[in-house]
Amino acid sequence: MKNAKYIGAILGMIALACLNIPVFAQHDFGLGIIVGEPTGLSGKLWLGKTTAIDGAVAWSFEGEDAFHLHMDYLLHSFDLIRVDKGKLPLYYGIGGRIKFDEEDNARVGLRIPVGLEYIFTGERVDIFLEIVPLLDLIPDTDFSLNGGIGVRYFF
């Protein structure tokens, strides 16, 4: 694979992010699906009461079909929208993505996710809706949008 250095960089970022993370949430890790651009498996790790790391291993259908990996650092605002049951935080953050097309060409970009997440009472299941401005930096500069809806179960 001619883009092995990109995969190494992404795996290195994931390893650094997961080292010595203090976890405060009762159900700290969730796994589920995201449908949209991209579509695939979604994961989220709560780092504290308002911060988390999320990511996806997915397939992108934008332009040519491509394998898509992303990871974001998220901040959550729980006080903006009040609901009778559960929680409905607005979240926003910054992250990165790498996308490999069928010929192993890589696109590396900066993500700025903004979304809403409904956390059901009991905190075992969430659903989310997000829109993500995306600025590709490698191999050239290009702006686009990603977005999707998803659901996760927390262990």
Return the CATH number at 45: 2.40.160.20
Task: Tell me what pLDDT residue 88 has.
Answer: 97
The count of domains in the chain is: 1
Q: CA nearest 147: which of 37, 46, 30?
A: 37
Task: Tell me what pLDDT residue 5 has.
Answer: 52
Which residue range is the domain that position 16 belongs to? 4-154
Task: Tell me what pLDDT residue 82 has.
Answer: 92
How close are the terminal C-alpha atoms of the chain, in Å?
A: 35
Which residues of the chain have a pLDDT value below 50? 1, 16, 19-25
Task: Tell me what pLDDT residue 61 has.
Answer: 87
Task: Tell me what pLDDT residue 12 has.
Answer: 53
Do 45 and 18 touch, CB atoms closer than 8 A? yes
Task: Output the pTM of the full model.
Answer: 0.81
Q: Compute how many other C-beta atoms are within 10 angstroms of the C-beta atom of residue 60.
A: 21
Do 106 and 100 touch, CB atoms closer than 8 A? yes
Task: Tell me what pLDDT residue 10 has.
Answer: 55
